[in-house]
Amino acid sequence: MVKKTNGKLDETTIGASCPLGPPDWRYRCKQCKHVFLMPAPKGPSEEKNRKCTKCGSAEIERIDLVTSEVCPPGG
């Protein structure tokens, strides 16, 4: 018998061996070339307000998603 769940992801299966938080986005400022990390935004409007942490320019581009490198693969 298959028990139907409400579609909610079981959080214990996500990062169970890794106690660290969610991954960060890596951004690069087009003005000063400064590269910095910011936590993944909760919504598009939040990301729109992102600015360079060094010069304050809104001309930033997202490079990639940075997952935790501290947590060893496979434990």
The whole-angstrom separation of Cα 66 and Cα 15 is 15
Residue 59 as a binder of Zn ion (CB under 5 A): the answer is no
Residue 67 as a binder of Zn ion (CB under 5 A): the answer is no
Residue 37 as a binder of Zn ion (CB under 5 A): the answer is no
Burial of 17 (0-12, 13-18, 19+ CB in 10 A): exposed
Number of residues that bind Zn ion (CB under 5 A): 8
Residue 34 as a binder of Zn ion (CB under 5 A): the answer is yes
Which residues make up the interface to Zn ion (CB under 5 A)? 29, 31-32, 34, 52, 54-55, 57
